[in-house]
């Protein structure tokens, strides 16, 4: 009887812990202005590199607004890392006009 | 009799068409920036990376040091990089860039027709991977990512 109670308590504890951990992984959206994005032929590289980054869920590039809108799991990747990835493609992630939600 | 000719032609023709769809033999002749001919057929037996690029394309410029390093490190294992500028650019501009970047592989000036030999995609940069037997092995659109070099190029050099 006692061991059964322990198992139940343990199961409840694990369920709560698992839910809390999952809840911590929130999808965030970062809008990053990308300097130097002028030609449609070469913007694909930014999208490709971002999509290959673990934690990135969705990428939308806008050549008109010269920005990348990125949905990402902030438990797996940071906005600073996303900027680093963009800079690694030869473009420049502009610091001041960015933002996260 | 006619039937016999038809089936004979079908037998001969189908494998050629199939081969053409899956493993196109890569043909390319381009003048390099010094006026010499670069012929892809001269590199049969090597793994060739035909890299389409432009001096004004940031990702193209960014990946050139990686291509220089690949050429240096894997030349002895049969790798040959060939740079082809596309869309057409001024020769003087390309020469200046190549000299400053210390590019260690041949670079030629490309045309749209030349690019269409490989793909209709307009992405830049674009790297065509040619196998040792001269057929198109792979087409990598956009900047070469480290994992693509590891998984799609290096295994061909073993």
What local confidence, expressed as pLDDT, does residue A76 receive? 96
Contact list, A41 vs chain B (CB under 8 Å): 57, 122-124
- E-strand stretches of chain B: 29-31, 37-39, 47-53, 79-85, 107-109, 126-130, 136-141
Banded model confidence at residue B92, pLDDT cuts 50, 70, 90 = very high
The answer to whether residue B1 scores a pLDDT higher than 70 is no
Give residue-wise pLDDT tens across range A37-95. 888 888 899 999 999 999 999 999 999 999 999 999 999 999 999 999 999 999 999 98
Query: How many Å apart are CA B81 and CA B64, to the nearest integer?
Result: 11
Instruction: Say which of B58, B122, B142 has its CB closest to residue A91.
Output: B58
pTM, entire model: 0.79
Contact yes or no for A52 and B57 at CB 8 A: no
> B interface toward A at CB cutoff 8 Å?
56-63, 122-125, 141-143, 145, 147
Instruction: Say which of A36, A41, A46 has its CB closest to residue B124.
Output: A41
CA distance B92 to chain A (A): 22
Residue A35, helix vs strand vs coil: strand
User: Distance from first CA to last CA of chain A, Å, rounded?
Assistant: 49
């Amino acid at each position: 009887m006692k061991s059964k109670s322990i198992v139940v308590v343990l199961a409840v504890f694990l369920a709560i812990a698992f839910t809390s951990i999952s809840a911590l992984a929130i999808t965030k959206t970062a809008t990053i202005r990308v300097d130097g994005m002028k030609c449609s032929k070469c913007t694909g590289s930014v999208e490709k590199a971002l999509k290959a980054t673990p934690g990135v869920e969705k990428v939308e590039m806008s050549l008109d607004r010269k920005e990348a809108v990125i949905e990402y799991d902030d438990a797996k990747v940071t906005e600073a890392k996303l900027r680093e990835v963009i800079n690694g493609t030869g473009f420049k992630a502009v610091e001041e006009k960015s933002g996260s939600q | 009799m006619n039937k016999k000719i038809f089936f004979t032609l079908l037998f001969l023709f189908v494998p050629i068409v199939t081969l053409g769809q899956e493993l196109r033999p890569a043909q390319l002749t381009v003048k390099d920036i010094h006026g010499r001919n670069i012929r892809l057929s001269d590199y049969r037996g090597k793994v060739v990376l035909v890299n389409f690029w432009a001096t004004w394309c940031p990702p193209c410029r960014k990946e050139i040091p990686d291509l220089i390093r690949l050429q240096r490190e894997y030349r002895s294992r049969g790798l040959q990089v060939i740079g082809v500028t596309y869309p057409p650019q001024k020769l003087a501009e390309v020469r200046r860039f190549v000299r400053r970047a210390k590019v260690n592989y041949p670079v030629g000036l490309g045309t749209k027709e030349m690019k269409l030999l490989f793909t209709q995609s307009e992405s830049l940069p674009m790297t065509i991977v040619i196998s040792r037997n001269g057929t198109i092995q792979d087409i990598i659109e956009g900047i070469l990512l480290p994992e693509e070099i590891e998984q799609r190029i290096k295994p061909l050099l073993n």
